[in-house]
Amino acid sequence: MGTIDSVLKENRLFPPTDDFRVKANVSGMDGYNALCDKANADYAGFWGELARELVSWKTPFTKVLNEDNAPFFKWFEDGVLNVSYNCLDRHLDARGDKTAIIFEADDGAVTNVTYRDLYTRVCQFANGLKSLGVQKGDRVVIYMPHGVEAVTAMQACARIGAIHSVVFGGFSAGALRDRIQDAAAKVVITANETVRGGKTTPLKAITDEAMSLGGCDSVQKIVVFQRTQNAPEKWDALNIWWHDLIQGQASECEPEWMSAEDPLFILYTSGSTGKPKGIQHSTGGYFLGTQVTMKWVFDYKENDVYWCTADVGWITGHSYIAYGPLGIGATQVVFEGVPTYPDASRFWSMIEKHKVTTFYTAPTAIRSLIKLGGDLPKKHDLSSLRLLGTVGEPINPEAWMWYYEVVGGSRCPIVDTWWQTETGANMIAPLPGAAPTKPGSCTLPLPGIMADIVDESGAPVEAGKGGFLVISKPWPSMVRTIWGDPDRFKKTYFPEDYNGKLYLAGDSAHRDENGYIWIMGRIDDVLNVSGHRLGTMEIESALVANPLVAEAAVVGKPHDIKGESVVAYVVLKNARPEGDDAKRIAKELREWVAHEIGKIAQPDEIRFGDNLPKTRSGKIMRRLLRDIAKGAEITADTSTLENPAILDQLRQSAI
């Protein structure tokens, strides 16, 4: 691990203001330490008490944690609950008329949805799904625009015990087909089109294409929400309009009472191989994770106007839009569009308009908005803000300082939240009324989260030394398995190297002298492009599926705004192209990848070679490819290289 060392040294410290600390749900480091001590003294008791306080149970659990079949841990296993009940019904008496969602469409139109409205919408749609034969345990794929209906569809699934699998609306027909097939979905919910940044994308047509790729025989119905006036090209017996489905449906729907361990949803994420993993989450433990972090990390208060800018297609949109804020009874902004449309002050004018108090976004958005108009926030009244958050990738100290000073007026704590699709909820983050923050560090593990940094043997590394980030005790909102592949779950997350005892996050990190954690990056072949996880193998498989391509290797390269960009090294079946030919083929390959996976996976740079640098045993030397992509001197030992001349060729061939 000697090679994983960080060069970043950041010593500025930003404690919360006295005013924030005094009012905070967890106040001061004493408050934080008291919670940690409690978790250390009685782990099960600690989580059990939180689960009773923050979750409404139909039948209370008698057992907190069952470790008999580790790493297939069970939490609150004999407890019975329904997540949709927890997000809607339990608020009706006290908050029925409170706004649950302030929806702002791409074109700026605003719709307010109260808790009672949302309850009715969810019940009617849940009854609609039932009328299609959807039952507890069935899988439903949701491929929709970000908006009230996507949240309604997720909540309706939760209400009737169906397992949703949301597929990000930017994914291609191929990616959608793979997910429908892997989960054997009974119903797909989509829309005729999405509208983002003034442009439409024909989701229904892409769904039709996915179906035509084959392997989707499980699908019995495709429900289509009408987002725009444009009629879909194709319409057949499989299709039903959302508005026709809910027509005449009762506005009450008795929740399906679920065991805490019944799956709530699957969400696919990239890993080290070509095949995305269906991360399976539970009902009780997952929901608890969202609630406890809303309370501690987002310091939730009844009058907050909370806004998380993620899309429901990602885990952040699941935990911090569809479930977390609704579970705790918050008013939240849901935004359909993009931060740069109609111009780069969209976020700032929305914060002003809706008097947002809590704003949660990604470093990549912050960096692009600095570039497009670092002074724009100053033209808006952002005084409603009291707390800022970031997620998805490490935030560089410059972007952090700008966010802190220009957006937060040097008054709002920033919660830099480290977590993953697999962890279900925030894991390492400052409690904003307690931990002084340092720009670029996600600071300290949450109480009850046993994070550590270890070497190859599993022994903790000393402060300042890089190592593997692990979690040494199960936690309630953790991934339960990989859908249909428990062996892969075990091998990926609880590897034998650590005797199957430690959860391996897949990130490298180090601790500083104050015990603060600094995430350094992924240790596997996963790129983080604009906060989105992309497997290099996935992109490679897409490239070699093109008839022109013989071989491909994909690596990441540091990028100012996206964090990382995608660089593809490609060997064609025919001779290496040059000049205009090379440009034309590069364009064709980019479009191909967009079509196979989605635009987010398109290589920013393509380099054609006669071959790839390989060891004598035939392994592609990715370290060299990363150095070439960066334009860096090659320092690695190239003596084991079969074909050293190839390096010069690749160095000169960027397109």
Identify the residue among 84, 152, 194, 421 touching ligand 6R9 (CB under 6 A): 421
Peptide bond into 430 cis (omega under 30): no
Nearer Cβ to ligand 6R9 (76/419): 419
**Measuring CA to CA, which residue among 59, 142, 147, 54 is closest to residue 105?**
147
Q: How far is the CB of 477 from ligand 6R9 (least distance, A)?
A: 12
Identify the residue among 50, 442, 552, 629 touching ligand 6R9 (CB under 6 A): 442
Q: What phi and psi values does residue 85 have, to the nearest 5 degrees?
A: -60, -45
Nearer Cβ to ligand 6R9 (392/474): 392
Per-residue x/- track, 2-41, ligand 6R9 (CB under 6 A): ----------------------------------------
CA 241 – CA 227 distance, rounded (Å): 11
99 is in an annotated binding site: no
Number of residues that bind ligand 6R9 (CB under 6 A): 23
Per-residue x/- track, 591-630, ligand 6R9 (CB under 6 A): ----------------------------------------
What residue number has its CB nearest to ligand 6R9?
Answer: 421
What residues between 313 and 372 interact with ligand 6R9 by CB under 6 A? 314-316
Q: How far is the CB of 16 from ligand 6R9 (least distance, A)?
A: 19
Quickly tell me which residue has 């003294």 as its tokens.
Answer: 41
Instruction: State the amino acid at position 141 in one-letter form.
Output: V
Identify the residue among 419, 483, 489, 516 touching ligand 6R9 (CB under 6 A): 419
Residue 475 touching ligand 6R9 (CB under 6 A): no
Quickly tell me which residue has 């006036």 as its tokens.
Answer: 229
Identify the residue among 79, 377, 394, 433 touching ligand 6R9 (CB under 6 A): 394
Quickly tell me which residue has 């912050």 as its tokens.
Answer: 366
Side by side, the strands of the sheet bearing 563-572 are 549-559, 563-572, 605-608
Nearer Cβ to ligand 6R9 (510/614): 510
Helices (H) and strands (E) in the chain, counts: 21, 30
- Alpha helix locations (H) across 463-618? 486-493, 536-544, 579-596
Strand runs (DSSP E) across 272-347, as ranges? 277-282, 305-308, 331-335
Going by their DSSP bridges, the two strands 451-454 and 414-417 should be labelled as unpaired
Residue 14 bridge partners (DSSP): 437
Nearer Cβ to ligand 6R9 (35/414): 414
Q: Is 54 helix (H, G, I), strand (E, B) or coil?
A: helix
Measured from the Cβ of residue 60, the count of other Cβ atoms closer than 10 Å reads 14
Per-residue x/- track, 519-558, ligand 6R9 (CB under 6 A): x--x-----x--x-x-------------------------
Nearer Cβ to ligand 6R9 (256/393): 393
What residues between 223 and 282 interact with ligand 6R9 by CB under 6 A? 269
Nearer Cβ to ligand 6R9 (222/505): 505
CA 494 – CA 506 distance, rounded (Å): 11
Identify the residue among 317, 377, 506, 609 touching ligand 6R9 (CB under 6 A): 506
Instruction: State the amino acid at position 472 in one-letter form.
Output: S
Nearer Cβ to ligand 6R9 (76/518): 518
**Interface stretch with ligand 6R9, choices 222-230, 309-317, 476-484, 535-543 (CB under 6 A):** 309-317
Residue 171 touching ligand 6R9 (CB under 6 A): no
Q: Is 449 helix (H, G, I), strand (E, B) or coil?
A: coil
Q: Give first-to-last CA distance, the chain, whole Å.
A: 34
Q: How far is the CB of 429 from ligand 6R9 (least distance, A)?
A: 8
Instruction: State the amino acid at position 418 in one-letter form.
Output: W
Supply 259's token pair: 């065991």
Residue 418 touching ligand 6R9 (CB under 6 A): yes
Question: Three-state secondary structure along 304-322?
Answer: CEEEECCCCCCHHHHHHHH
Residue 391 touching ligand 6R9 (CB under 6 A): yes
Side by side, the strands of the sheet bearing 110-114 are 110-114, 99-104, 331-335, 305-308, 358-361, 387-391, 414-417
Interface residue list for ligand 6R9 (CB under 6 A): 269, 314-316, 391-394, 416-421, 442, 505-507, 519, 522, 528, 531, 533
Annotated binding site: 196-199, 316, 392-394, 416-421, 507, 522, 530, 533, 544, 549
Annotated binding site for Mg(2+): 544, 549
